[in-house]
Amino acid sequence: MREAYMGREGSQNMNETRVRLLRLTAWLVASAMFVSLSSEAVVRAAQRRNQVAKVQPKTTVTETARQAKKTTVSGEYKAFWFSFYDYDEYRDAYKKNNAANFKKYFTKVVNRGKSLGMNRVIVQVRPFGDAIYKSKYFPWSKYISGKQGRSPGYDPLKIMVSVAHQKGMAIEAWVNPYRVTKGSTNYNKLSKNNPARKWHAKKSTRRNVLSYGGNLYYNPSKKAVQNLIVNGAKEIVQKYDVDGIHMDDYFYPSFTKKNVKKAFDAKEYNKSSYKKKKKSIYTYRRAQVNNLVKRMKKTIKKVDPNVTYGISPAGNIDNLTSKYSYYVDIYKWLNSTAYVDYICPQVYWGFKHPTAAFDKVTRRWVKAAKKKKVKLYIGIGVYRAGHNVGQNRAERKEWKSDTKVLKKQVQYARKYKVDGFAFFDYQDLKSKASRKAVNQLKTVLK
C-alpha cells in the first residue's frame, strides 16, 4: 500500500494550510489501520484483476497469505517439467550467475510455456538429495551453483515462484525422494554438510544410505530417512508459496530374481515384523513406499491444505506392480484420498509401440482410475518428437516424421476424459528437432 499512500500525498496542494495537512496525516493513519484490517478484501480485488497472490517471506508463508493464495489457473491441467538439466543451460547462457540473470532466464521459461498454452510449471528443486533453494536439511545443488554445498548467492526457488505467479502461472516444486548420486558411490564427492555423507561416516547410521548398481540411495526402510524426506517437503511448503509438491518415479531400484531377496534393504526386512509374520519382501517394500507417500500428503496438507501433492510414476503399470522394481502400490493410491491428489504416469511411447502403445497404456490408466478418487494426468514425452527413436521401425518413423503425434496424443486422452497433461520437458518444447510437433501441439492447448 506504500505506493497508494505516496500517490495520495503527491496529489495534495503544497500550499494547503498547516491545519489541513495535520488532518490529512491523521486521515492517512486511520486509513492505514483500516487497510490492514481489510487485507482479505484487497486480496479479492487483486484476484479479480487476474493476479496470483504472492509472498516473499524470510522464513515462512504467513497464514494470511495462505488463506489468500488461490491461483487463477483453472480448467485443464497443462504443465511442463523444468528439470535439473535446464539449470545447466542457464549457467551456460550467462557469464554471471546472479539473481538478476536467473530471473531473466526463468521469465523466458515461463513466457515460453504460456505461449504454448501451458498454465503450470513443475520445477525440479531436489534432484540428488540436494536443493535448488536455501534448505536447512539439504546442501545447495551443484546444478545451480556449479558445486554441491556452494550457495549461488540467491534463492532460485523464491525467484521462480515470484516470476510464475506474476505471470499467472501455477508452480510445483519437484523432488526426488531417494536418489543421492548417479554413476558414483564416492561419498567424498558429496559436500561435507550432505546428510548422506554424515550418516555414512557413523557406523550407527551407515545403513541410512545404500550403494546399489553404481549409485547411492537413501534407504527407504529407515525411519530417519523418511523423516528427512517428509521434513524437506514441509520446509518447502512453509517457506515458499508453491502450488504443489511433485514427486517423480525414482523409488526402489530394479532387482533381479537372484538378488531381490538379498540386496539393498533386505537386512531391514529380515529384522522386521513382516519377516516374522511371513509376509513377503515385496509386501514390505511396498509398505515402505506407501508409508512415505501417505506421510508426505498428511504433512503437506497440515501446513497448507491448498497445496496439491502428486506423483509421476513410470508409465507401465506392470513394472510398477512387479516383484522386482519400484514397489509402487498404484491401485491403492488411485483408489484412496489418503496418498495423493493426482497421479501423472509417464506414457512416453508412440501409438506404434509394439507392447506399450500410447492408446493401450492410456486406456489402462483410465480404467485403473475409474473411481475418480484422485486426478489423472498423462505425462507426454516431447523429447521424442522429431527424433528417430522407438522400439520398432513403425514407432521410430512415427516419432521422427509424424508432426501431429503430440497433438494426437492429447486428443486421444481427452476422449477418455483425463484431467490434464504434463510435458517433458522445457528444453524440448523449444528445440529445433521438436519444433513442428510442438507447433501442432500448441493448436490443441491454446
Q: CA-to-CA distance for 76 and 49, rounded, in angstroms?
A: 21
The percent of residues in the chain predicted with pLDDT above 90, rounded, is 83
Contacts 24+ apart (CB under 8 A), 332-337: 332/290, 333/293, 333/374, 334/368, 334/369, 334/371, 334/373, 334/374, 334/376, 335/371, 335/373, 336/373, 337/373, 337/374
Q: What is the pLDDT of residue 61?
A: 58
Q: CA-to-CA distance for 117 and 121, rounded, in angstroms?
A: 12
Q: What is the pLDDT of residue 73?
A: 60
| pLDDT digits 0-9 by tens, 30-58 | 333 333 333 333 333 333 333 333 333 43
Does residue 381 lie within any of the structural domains?
yes
Q: What confidence tier does 72 reach under pLDDT thresholds 50, 70, 90?
A: low
Q: CA-to-CA distance for 174 and 407, rounded, in angstroms?
A: 25
Q: What is the pLDDT of residue 362?
A: 98
The percent of residues in the chain predicted with pLDDT above 70, rounded, is 83
Q: Are 134 and 124 in contact (CB under 8 A)?
A: no
Does residue 22 lie within any of the structural domains?
no
Examine the pLDDT at 24 and tell me if it is beyond 80.
no
Examine the pLDDT at 316 and tell me if it is beyond 70.
yes
Does residue 107 lie within any of the structural domains?
yes
Q: Which residues pair with 212 in a beta bridge?
A: 215
Examine the pLDDT at 68 and tell me if it is beyond 80.
no
Q: What is the pLDDT of residue 249?
A: 87
Examine the pLDDT at 420 and tell me if it is beyond 90.
yes
| pLDDT digits 0-9 by tens, 164-210 | 999 999 999 999 999 999 999 999 999 999 999 999 999 999 999 99
| pLDDT digits 0-9 by tens, 245-284 | 999 988 999 999 999 999 999 999 999 999 999 999 999 9
Does residue 3 lie within any of the structural domains?
no
CATH number of the domain where residue 125 is located: 3.20.20.80
Does residue 237 lie within any of the structural domains?
yes
C-alpha cell at 233: 517437503
Does residue 71 lie within any of the structural domains?
no
In this predicted structure, which of 18-22, 238-242, 243-247, 312-316 has the lowest mean pLDDT? Answer: 18-22
Does residue 126 lie within any of the structural domains?
yes
Q: CA-to-CA distance for 227 and 222, rounded, in angstroms?
A: 9
Q: What confidence tier does 20 reach under pLDDT thresholds 50, 70, 90?
A: very low
Cell numbers 527424433 correspond to what residue? 387
Q: What is the pLDDT of residue 132?
A: 98
Does residue 358 lie within any of the structural domains?
yes
Domain region containing 161 = 78-443
Examine the pLDDT at 399 and tell me if it is beyond 50.
yes
Q: What is the pLDDT of residue 244?
A: 98
Q: What is the pLDDT of residue 45?
A: 34
Task: Tell me how many domains the chain contains.
Answer: 1
Q: What is the pLDDT of residue 250?
A: 87
